[in-house]
Amino acid sequence: MKKHFLVVLFAAFSACHKPQTTNLAAPWEPDYDVTRSENAIKEFEKKDAAQMPAPGGIVFTGSSSFTKWQGAAQDLAPLPIINRGFGGSTLPEVIHYSDRTISKYKPKTVVIYCENDMFGKKPKSPEQVRDAYVTLVKKLRAQQPDVQLYGVSLKPSPSRWAKREDVIKANKLIQDYIRKDKNHHYIDVWPVMLKDGRPDGAIFVSDSLHMNEEGYKRWTKVFRPILEKSV
């Protein structure tokens, strides 16, 4: 009887500590062409044709905060950074191009940052953002079950501060999923980007969305010690 109880208890514990991969919301279909960044992807492929990165690196995937981090490989050296963020992208686009911008490199580690999903013309809930993130993870894991994953919190931006509650909720839902997922970690950039409880305007360029050099210096200080543990 005692043995049976322990088996049941262990099963219940395991179930509670497995990531919930089912959708939290209704499916969301893009109102845009997910191939709209094809030219950017072809530019990556030209670079690869000239010099293919070695397998086992750290792939950065996602939107323009990675795209514009042109010095990421230098800032985080000697970590083997392969920056494949493409500007304006959303999670459906990252999913669509994942074979060509992530899995082809056979990375040891993938870092995901994508913040545009809730800011298009068609409404998208924090739950639907989380579901898209989970879909990407499932696709990556289907090809590389043991790949190390890092999800970066959607950053606090002055131009998007009015929707901060949605951003905070999406971050929490993604973090809750990550917490129960093996080889998966959450990188929170909010603490280094706030001043007096609001986005620090000194680390943004004139559009109040993208970061300047100081912003990336702060990201470097957050990313380096975390990613060094993954190599």
pTM value surpassing 0.95: no
Which domain range does residue 96 map to? Answer: 36-228
Residue 82 lies in a domain: yes
Note the helical H segments in the chain: 2-16, 38-50, 64-67, 72-75, 91-96, 98-101, 126-143, 164-179, 190-193, 213-228
Please tell me the predicted confidence (pLDDT) of residue 17: 57
Please tell me the predicted confidence (pLDDT) of residue 208: 98
In the three-class reduction of DSSP (H, G, I as helix; E, B as strand; rest coil), residue 193 is classed as helix
C-alpha to C-alpha distance for 223 and 101, rounded to whole angstroms? 21
Please tell me the predicted confidence (pLDDT) of residue 86: 97
Residue 72 lies in a domain: yes
Residue 11 lies in a domain: no
Q: How many domains does the chain have?
A: 1
> Quick check: 134 and 128 in contact, CB under 8 A?
no
Residue 25 lies in a domain: no
Instruction: Give residues with Cβ within 8 angstroms of 70, minimum separation 6.
Output: 83
One-letter-per-residue 3-state SS of 113-163: ECCCHHHCCCCCCHHHHHHHHHHHHHHHHHHCCCCEEEEECCCCCHHHHHH
Tens place of pLDDT per residue across the chain (231 aa): 545 444 434 444 444 457 788 999 999 999 999 999 999 999 999 999 999 999 999 999 999 999 999 999 999 999 999 999 999 999 999 999 999 999 999 999 999 999 999 999 999 999 999 999 999 999 999 999 999 999 999 999 999 999 999 999 999 999 999 999 989 999 999 999 999 999 999 999 999 999 999 999 999 999 999 999 887
Which has the closest alpha carbon to 157: 105, 210, 218, 206?
Answer: 210
Q: How far apart are the first and last CA of the chain?
A: 45
Which has the closest alpha carbon to 156: 206, 187, 201, 205?
Answer: 201
C-alpha to C-alpha distance for 185 and 152, rounded to whole angstroms? 9
The single-letter code of the amino acid at 121 is K
At 175, which CATH number?
A: 3.40.50.1110
Residue 13 lies in a domain: no
Residue 89 lies in a domain: yes
